[in-house]
Amino acid sequence: MIRGDFMIHVTIFQNHRGDYTAFSCIGHAGYAKAGEDIVCAAASVLAINTVNAVEQLVGDAFSLVTDEESGRLEFSLKEHYSGKSVLLIQALVLGLQGIQESYGNEYLSLNFKEV
């Protein structure tokens, strides 16, 4: 295991109705060296798959900012989003919580923020 100042920080944003409408991920897990870090790979696959599913299966409009070096991914649904996109973000949360349960909070922090 590689430690130090490593951790994936995920923030899930929800509106006043409780809908998950955006998420932000930044960092690297530090569970293992680059290319072998299964925690980082799992979190990345979940986040990227959520973006791809919203785009290709639902078609809702969204904004996306990424930076591979820092591990940054910021996703936000635009107005008039569907319940399908909210469900996909809920599935992302479920998967990230599973990673936390399996590998611990020292590799991935999951926070919720109302906007």
Name the token pair of 60. 């809702």
SS3 112: strand
Name the token pair of 108. 């991935």
pLDDT digits (tens, 9 = 90+) for 68-89: 888 899 999 999 999 999 999 9
What is the Cβ-side half-sphere exposure of residue 15, based on CA atoms within 13 angstroms? 10
Q: Rounded to an integer, what distance in angstroms lies between the CA atom of residue 57 and that of residue 44?
A: 19
Task: Please give the CATH topology (third level) of the domain spanning 8-114.
Answer: Alpha-Beta Plaits (3.30.70)
pLDDT digits (tens, 9 = 90+) for 33-67: 888 999 999 999 999 999 999 999 999 999 999 99
Q: What average pLDDT score do residues 20-29 get?
A: 95
Q: Rounded to an integer, what distance in angstroms lies between the CA atom of residue 2 and that of residue 112?
A: 27
Work out the mean pLDDT of the chain and round it to a whole number.
Answer: 93
For the cut 80, the answer to whether the pLDDT of residue 5 exceeds it is no
The ranges assigned to domains in the chain are 8-114
Give the predicted TM-score (pTM) of the model: 0.92
